[in-house]
Chains A and B, each alone.
Chain A
Amino acid sequence: MNNLILEVNDVAVAFGGVKAVNGATMSVEVGSVTSVIGPNGAGKTTLFNLISGAIKPDSGTILFQGFEIQKLLPHKIADRGIVRTFQGAKVIKRLSVLENLMLGAQNNPGDNLINFFNPRARNAFEKQARERAMALLKQVGIERFANDYAGILSGGQRKLLDLARALMAEPVMLLLDEPFAGVNPTLVEKLLEVLHALRTEHHLTFLLVEHDLETVMNISDRVVVMAEGRVIADGLPNSIYENQAVVDAYLGTRKLNS
């Protein structure tokens, strides 16, 4: 019908008295990079939690590839191809870095207990997945920690692990919550290249939350601006500078490259 992969329609959720997301409507086009910006506490992470199923909306609908997903459990949503990273990164500290990545592998026969009796299938899958995991670790530059506990990684390294693990799942759409905050500039550039390649080669769709406006302007096809749980603007990157509400809520007097 259209080329929208994700449609968020008038979604709302409140925690006690806090209306974290308060009637947000937005959409994402297939194969695009869409960035969500907005002040702290605007509801960006909550929106991600809603899309990924980690929390359920009080009202509104979320459609992914035309299917309603707002009532699905998180793992069902992940099965459909939406994979997310976490703000500040989440790693399983008592698994090795490589094992963390292996968690991302989809349709692993070894996840099914029946296949305990089918070691050949399990081992073949593991071997392939491990090679892919090592390649991803190399891409994000933490391959030398592959066999260390993820708990020893620094904050920035954890973000790289979180990202690599999400990529390991071969998503259709990737939700990245501040993927570049706290990552050094040269690596950010390298990661952007990796993401760009994924986009052109695998037609991956990106939805990301990012505070660094320069990066946002450079990589986004569309920018969604949130404030106080609502979407206050949605448009081409440059158009948001002309939006008075956005300037008031978020940008202040800042100007790009000035």
Chain B
Amino acid sequence: MTAILQPGFWVFILTMSGIYGIFTLGLQVQYGVGGILNFGHVGMMALSSYTMAILVIAHGFNFWIAAASGVAVAALGGAFLGLTTLRLRGDYFSIVSIAFSEIVRYVIFNSDGLTGGSQGSLAIMPIGDAYPSYTDTWDTILYWIRDHLTPIFGEVADRDMAMGILVWITLGILLFIVSRVERTSWARVLRATREDDDVPSALGKNVFRFRLQAVIIGSIIGGIAGIYWALQVTLLSPDDFLTIVTFYAWMILILSGATKVKGLAIAAIFFGFLYGGTRFFTFWPFSVFDASQRSYMRIMIIGIVLIVLMIRRPQGIFGKREEMVLE
């Protein structure tokens, strides 16, 4: 019960919210603009984080090159998924996308020699006899920031706080860029494809190209989230990339009102607090259950809150209601 009183816990929640926010922004481009239902988004996060970790730990790559490569691999993953399935009907894409992310996870889980398998990134064979860590470069930055925060925040300033700041700056920049992209005619065409293929194609728009680009951009953003995820958890495990993570992002997206980026940051914080806060539901009646039962109940409570919100405000916190009633 004491953790709830500590600022460190809430900094942690905010950081995770920010990472989820970045992750969800990728889905927002795909679904909010393009109407593409991607349920395998977490696969892109897995690809980028593991690529980065392997390149740094096993091959001694410079962190920045490794991180950029990770994001590039996520983009390739998106391109592969899109090229193979995007020509099919939308629901096929959704199904295949889940399979895609699960396959990525299974491959990671079963490639002990490459990924460390079930033991995670700790078991990746390091180059030389170094400790299998990929955070050294980043930590230098974090500690530099922390040292500059200490005069302001005193003891509270730590690695996590520095991380949180960088995550939120990144989310802010990405939100800005994406909101600009969504004002281009590219996004207008993509929005049209959300409703209908015939009209844009009859006007000379290659619908497939627009969708593919949306999936790739979303995957790049998902890949960036993956790098931050890796840096935040410091040790990767295949279990970090369960399909449920994609659905958390979907919750955030639906909460924020999918068609506008405006509410995304707030929805991510809302979700973070809901997710983190329910951890402290140890009092009666929750005290009747043991810890593992309670962790299931958290998910249930989050689900119920979301259902209630959806009924009261189907357009999300910031969405436009009129858009939902047009026939």
Contacts and interface: CB of A to CB of B under 8 A. Distances in A.
Given A73-B201, A90-B198, A149-B322, 9 more contacts: A73-B206, A75-B201, A75-B203, A78-B204, A103-B189, A105-B185, A151-B326, A165-B203, A169-B204
A57 interface: no
A108 interface: yes
Interface string A97-141: 001101111101011110110000010001000000000000000
Given A95-B191, A106-B204, A90 B185 contact: no
Contact of B327 (A92, A93, A102, A110): A93
A113 B191 contact: no
Contacts of B300: none
Contacts of A102: 185, 188
A111 B199 contact: no
B312 to A, nearest CB: 22
26 contacts: A52-B202, A54-B198, A54-B202, A73-B201, A74-B202, A75-B207, A78-B202, A78-B204, A83-B202, A84-B202, A91-B199, A92-B191, A92-B199, A93-B195, A93-B326, A94-B323, A95-B188, A95-B191, A100-B192, A103-B188, A110-B186, A122-B184, A126-B185, A149-B322, A151-B327, A152-B326
A113 B199 CA distance: 21
Nearest to B216: A113
A149 B323 contact: yes
B196 interface: yes
A162 to B, nearest CB: 9
Contacts of A169: 203-204
B88 to A, nearest CB: 16
A112 B204 CA distance: 13
B205 A75 contact: yes
Interface of B: 180-181, 184-186, 188-189, 191-192, 194-196, 198-207, 213, 217, 322-323, 326-327
A166 B198 CA distance: 13
A94 to B, nearest CB: 5
Nearest to B217: A113
Closest 9 CB pairs of A and B: A151-B326, A110-B185, A78-B204, A74-B201, A93-B326, A92-B192, A110-B184, A108-B185, A75-B206
Contacts of A103: 188-189, 192, 199-200, 203, 205
Nearest to B184: A110
A189 interface: no
Contacts of B194: 94
Interface in A39-73: 52-54, 73
A145 interface: no
Contact of B201 (A78, A105, A108, A110): A78
B221 to A, nearest CB: 14
A83 B199 CA distance: 10
A79 interface: yes
Contacts of B196: 90, 92
A250 interface: no
B315 to A, nearest CB: 12
B202 A111 contact: no
Contacts of A126: 185
A97 to B, nearest CB: 12
A85 to B, nearest CB: 8
Contacts of A54: 198, 201-202
Nearest to A122: B184
Nearest to B213: A113
B225 to A, nearest CB: 21
A26 to B, nearest CB: 21
Looking at B180, B181, B184, B195, the one whose CB has the most chain A CB atoms below 10 A away is B184
B29 to A, nearest CB: 11
A90 B199 CA distance: 7
Nearest to B190: A111
B327 to A, nearest CB: 6
Given A111-B185, A149-B326, A94 B205 contact: no
Interface string A166-197: 10010000000000000000000000000000
A78 B180 contact: no
Given A90-B199, A113-B186, A116-B186, A79 B204 contact: yes
B260 to A, nearest CB: 12
